[in-house]
């Protein structure tokens, strides 16, 4: 399947979601609405739920079926495939982050570099070698809410318009993972791949640091867990390339 076709289909479906971002709360069966606050984990789940039907529609157009990860820390969120026993599977992961101001740069973490990249059955739905493509659907929003929970504890269906939205100005992109990867770990001492730091056009255009997916994989499969591990090897793409040229 042409890579560009999947990208175009996903982008077309996600373009239709512009009116679906005004999610303001969670409703129970008796009609009470609990407002959303600034909790990033909750909002990440909201965007995953919003985009889920779009992924299923794209899979139907491609005559593929969808398998969702059943374990929270397993990659990817969605697997598109024609047959469980065959290769050629497509991985789609949903990533969400926020900006405090519309012009702020932002970044994501793109999954562990010490799990399935090195042990192809660790924390992954199917063996890594079964996948031929790895895609990110990335959402970024301007954060409005500052508190973890909404101010008023509950509302009713009759006053939905009174519920403050926790975010606005949602942007979305679809891009191959290697094209938006940086050469630095994602956060603190964790073993997560870090994305580039940029604005929405940088992610849409895939302005990462790697020449191709093979270089991305070789780099992150050999990247040290700690600064000490990297001292005698490499800690940047410049050092990696210099080492390769020796």
Q: Which residues are catalytic?
A: 77, 93, 95
What are the angstrom distances between the C-alpha of 97 and each of 75, 151, 167, 195, 227?
18, 22, 11, 12, 26
Widest CA span of the chain, in angstroms?
A: 69
- Cα–Cα distance, 34 to 104 (Å, whole number): 30
- Give the Cα-Cα-Cα angle 68, 205, 113 (nearest 5 degrees): 50
């Amino acid at each position: 399947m042409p890579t560009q076709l999947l990208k175009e289909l996903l982008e077309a479906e996600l373009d239709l979601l512009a009116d679906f971002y005004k999610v303001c709360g969670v409703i129970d069966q008796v009609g009470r609405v609990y407002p959303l606050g600034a909790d990033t984990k909750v909002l990440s789940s909201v965007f995953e739920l919003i985009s889920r039907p779009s992924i299923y529609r794209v899979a139907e157009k491609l005559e593929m079926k969808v398998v969702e990860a059943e374990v929270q820390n397993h990659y990817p969120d969605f697997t598109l495939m024609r047959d469980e026993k065959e290769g050629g599977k497509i991985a789609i992961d949903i990533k969400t982050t926020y900006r405090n101001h519309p012009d702020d740069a932002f970044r994501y973490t793109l999954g562990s570099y010490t799990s399935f990249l090195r042990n192809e059955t660790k924390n992954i739905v199917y063996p890594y070698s079964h996948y031929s493509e790895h895609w990110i659907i990335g959402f970024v929003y301007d954060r409005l809410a500052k508190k973890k929970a909404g101010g008023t504890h509950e509302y009713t269906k009759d006053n939905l318009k009174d519920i403050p939205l926790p975010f606005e100005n949602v942007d979305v992109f679809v891009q191959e993972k290697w094209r938006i990867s940086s050469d630095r770990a994602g956060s603190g001492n964790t073993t997560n791949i870090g994305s580039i730091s940029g604005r929405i056009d940088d992610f849409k255009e895939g302005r990462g640091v790697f020449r191709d997916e093979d270089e991305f994989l070789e780099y992150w499969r050999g990247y040290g867990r700690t600064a000490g591990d990297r001292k005698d090897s490499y800690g940047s793409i410049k050092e990696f390339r210099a080492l390769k040229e020796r």
